[in-house]
Structure formats: C-alpha cells, structure tokens
C-alpha cells in the first residue's frame, strides 16, 4: 500500500538494540522454560520511550524537527528485572531507571505535548516486551542481566503486519550521526 502525505503514520520514539544485544535477548528467552504466548520477533525488540500514535505529516515533521533539539547523555542499563503486565506481556528491563534514560523519556514526552499530542499519563516504566499473551503467572526465572549501551534514540513507524521501520536516528551526547537502522539491522 502506497502512503501519501495525508496517510497517518503510527509513530513512537524508542531505544533500538544492536544486533548483538538483540541476539543475546533471544538466546536468553529461548533458554527459559516458557511455554505459550507469542514471542516478539527479534527484529522488533525495542524499548519504547514515548508513543505518539497515529500522526499526520505535519505532526511527524514537528516530531522529527523537535527530536533534533533533544539532548541527552549516552548511558548503560542492565536488564536485571522481569515482569508480566496485563494480557500476558512478559518483559525485561532495568530495576533502576538510569537518570539519563528517565530524562530522555521526559524530554520526548514534552516534545509530544509541544507537537499537540497527549503523552501517556502513566509513569515511565522502561521495559522490552519479549513475549505477548504469555499464559499464567510470572515465570520463576532469572532476568537476562545483559547490559544495553544507549548512544542514540530513534523515531520508529509501526506498520501493521509488516513490523517496525526506523525512520530517523538521533545521537545522544557526542555520538556520531548515522543510521542506527543500518548499524543494528532494525528494519522490520
């Protein structure tokens, strides 16, 4: 389906893991005694920072331009926690949100508001969804414990039935500009 300038796009800002980080999560997930549910495909693993929803071309432009002004420091986070949200969303994330991660999420929520969107009113809860619709209770397994290095964030488009596409990458700190999608294989 060809998109026109007037076709709304479903957008969000995210941290996109490297191929190595993604493979480590998948290896950990496959090594656990988990049954049922729908594993999130490796290419779609990410950490959502701010969800914009369906936006028109003018709002997308506002988000792209505004994200260029967002400043943040690179950071590391350890995936040392697991959890189970409603509807069986099994996730991993940091037990303590690095200050730079919280600041980045807050700045992007502010950008959504500046562009006329309503940011999620719930507190930011950094997590990577690993399995959808996992039946039962939280499994008794140890968290993956891997460390993610974050030196950039992305504007991502969700294309139903096709996966995710990284549209633009924004460096944190003194990171060199470039396409994280090319570095990490994040095209869905």
- pLDDT, tens digit, for every residue of 101-143? 999 999 999 999 999 999 999 999 999 999 999 998 988 999 9
Separation in Å, CA 9 to CA 56, 78, 102: 7, 32, 26
160 pLDDT tier (thresholds 50, 70, 90): confident
Q: For residues 5 and 48, which has the higher predicted lDDT (pLDDT)?
A: 48
Domains of the chain and CATH, by start: 9-184 (3.90.1140.10)
Q: Has residue 61 got a pLDDT over 90? A: yes
Cβ atoms 30, 50 nearer than 8 A? no
pLDDT tens-digit map of 72-110: 999 999 999 999 998 899 999 999 999 999 999 999 999
Mean pLDDT of 32-42: 92
Q: Has residue 5 got a pLDDT over 70? A: no
pLDDT tens-digit map of 162-187: 889 999 999 998 644 443 333 333 33
- Whole-model pTM: value is 0.87
Active site residues: 46, 127
- Work out the percent of the chain whose per-residue pLDDT is above 70: 89
């Amino acid at each position: 389906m060809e998109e026109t300038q007037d076709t709304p796009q479903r957008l969000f800002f995210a941290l996109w893991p490297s191929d190595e980080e993604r493979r480590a999560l998948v290896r950990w997930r496959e090594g656990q005694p988990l049954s049922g549910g729908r594993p999130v495909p490796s290419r779609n693993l990410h950490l959502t920072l701010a969800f914009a929803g369906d936006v028109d071309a003018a709002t997308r432009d506002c988000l792209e331009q505004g994200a260029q002004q967002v400043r943040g420091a690179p950071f590391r986070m350890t995936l040392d926690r697991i959890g189970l949200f409603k509807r069986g969303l099994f996730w991993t994330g940091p037990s303590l949100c690095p200050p730079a991660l919280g600041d980045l999420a807050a700045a992007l929520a502010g950008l959504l508001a500046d562009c006329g969107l309503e940011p999620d009113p719930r507190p930011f809860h950094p997590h990577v969804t690993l399995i959808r619709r996992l039946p039962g209770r939280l499994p008794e397994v140890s968290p993956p414990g891997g460390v993610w290095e974050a030196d950039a964030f992305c504007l991502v488009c969700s294309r139903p039935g096709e996966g995710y596409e990284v549209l633009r990458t924004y460096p944190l700190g003194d990171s060199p500009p470039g396409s994280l999608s090319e570095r990490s294989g994040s095209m869905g």
